[in-house]
Amino acid sequence: MPQHAPTGLSRSEAYEQSQDIGINPSGNDTIADVINHRYHRRDVLKGLLAGTAIAGFGTAGLGTMVGEPAQAQTTASRFTFTEISHGVDRTHHVAPGYDADVLIRWGDAVAPDAPAFDPQRQTAAAQLKQFGYNNDFIGYLPLPLGSTSSTRGLLFINHEYTNEEVMFPGIGRQEAKDKLFKDMTRNLVEIEMAAHGASIVEIERSEAGKWAVVAGSRYARRIDGGTTMMELTGPAAGHARMKTKADPSGVRVAGMLNNCAGGVTPWGTVLTAEENFHGYFWGKIEAGHPEERNHKRYEVPGNWYNWGQYFERFDVTKEPNEPNRFGWMVEVDPYDPQFVPKKRTALGRCKHEGAAVIVNSDGRVVLYSGDDERFEYVYRFVSARRYNANDRRANLGLLDEGILSVAKYNADGSVDWLPLVFGQGPLTAANGFGSQADVLIETRRAADLLGATKMDRPEDIEINPLTGKVYVMLTNNSRRKADQLDATNTRAANEWGQVLEMTPPGGDH
């Protein structure tokens, strides 16, 4: 049984609470500290920016604050639809003049030979061929490859996590204190694993404007959390800390977990981010174990599932290295049903959210990502090799070599990108790093030591393809106090978050 009893919260509530508490032990500045240094707090509280500005930072050199002193905005809104009332009921409400259609649902067929969904008689074998549970990121890839079709394409959809009280009739919330997983069985756990991962389906729009899934598509595929074999690539692949009894090579891992946001690459693959992987592990590693500090920094084990009761790989007392094989960015080629998904370790290990990719002016590929937890960091990866628009296959390894950096935001509006490179600064054997693999496996701790800026849940990151500006979505911080207000955090108990804009000088990322 898990060492830490469940909280009584639903799984989604537990994940949300976990992200809002924050476990970063470093004394690094927060983004609020940085902005308070840049702008006098008295001026901020007097309403200099009227609570509406976005903090703009240059990715090197000086940036510009977006927003002038309080002025009324007179530009007419482009949102002309009639707003609907807030509320929850059995009806899916949309604004007048709009409609909403169901494209695909949990349990619907993905594989051509998928059985009809029967919630009373679920099996893992059936779920492996059916649409998974709890969607997050959706990526659209036009068909054929290389086209810009808006009428036919592939959808890549993440399946982030499962809720057994909704999936399995009559058993209730198993993580609740009065349950402690007593109704869960090995069969139900296998179904949960099968419902994780992602689905790839082909869709087509009719002349009437309605979208539908193309049955029997050769591209249709399920990627799951327990059986889909994946390859670990990059500097951490094959390292001793990645090896387990099931995989003594340290280069193969079954499944991906808690896949949240993601992105589409310029060469037509999808990056899907493993976020709250810690919740799938249980047990308690013994004091003094070499992985104890590493596990603690990532909140492993979370004890939110009882998978470790039936599969020892999820019990840290039996497989302490298994958590190191999760928390990566996974690359998948939806155009190739035989493609083995790659966990790209060069992109670092954290609770990844989002993957914004752009080809820089010099041809190198740049990727921005956030670590989605309160007081965690913003990261940037720059590839060593250059993108080749004429050789798609050559681009498939671009994310295995390059420099991963973490952001330090300065009061003058600039950003220092601090390289996470073994042997540089504090990332040495004196601090427990023996190789680049160690730096990447313990990305969070390495960023702590470099002095990165602690952010308020950097959830998604997007790049404007026309301007090159980078937008960081800082989701929320409901624990902010009234005496902690600043230029970008203008209200206490901030439930709604804010947006940070970064401008690459001269368009150079």
More confident residue, 18 or 290: 290
Question: Domain limits at 56?
Answer: 11-67+102-507
Neighbours of 289 (CB within 10 A): 14
Domain membership flag for residue 3: no
Domain membership flag for residue 82: no
Domain membership flag for residue 90: no
Domain membership flag for residue 211: yes
Q: Spell out where 228-310 has E strands.
A: 229-233, 252-254, 259-264, 270-274
Please give the pLDDT value at position 111: 97
Q: Report in angstroms the alpha-carbon separations of 263 from 5, 69, 213.
A: 36, 35, 22
Contact status, residue 481 vs residue 24, Cβ threshold 8 Å: no
Q: Chain-wide mean pLDDT for the chain?
A: 88
What's the predicted TM-score (pTM) here? Answer: 0.89
pLDDT at 167 over 90: yes
Identify the residue whose tokens are 């174990």.
Answer: 289
Number of domains in the chain: 1
Domain membership flag for residue 200: yes
- Reading the block at residue 170, the tokens are 């009559």
pLDDT at 35 over 80: no
Contact status, residue 142 vs residue 219, Cβ threshold 8 Å: no
The span from the CA of 252 to the CA of 248, in Å, is 9
How do residues 400-413 score in pLDDT, each as one tens digit?
A: 999 999 999 888 88
Sign of CA dihedral 278, 281, 287, 289: negative
3-state secondary structure of 280: helix
Domain membership flag for residue 79: no
Domain membership flag for residue 94: no
* Torsion, Cα of 341, 345, 350, 351 (10° steps): -10
pLDDT at 66 over 60: no
Domain membership flag for residue 1: no
How do residues 337-371 score in pLDDT, each as one tens digit?
A: 999 999 999 999 999 999 999 999 999 999 999 99
The span from the CA of 327 to the CA of 260, in Å, is 11
Contact status, residue 197 vs residue 159, Cβ threshold 8 Å: yes
How do residues 443-478 score in pLDDT, each as one tens digit?
A: 999 999 999 998 888 999 999 999 999 999 998 877
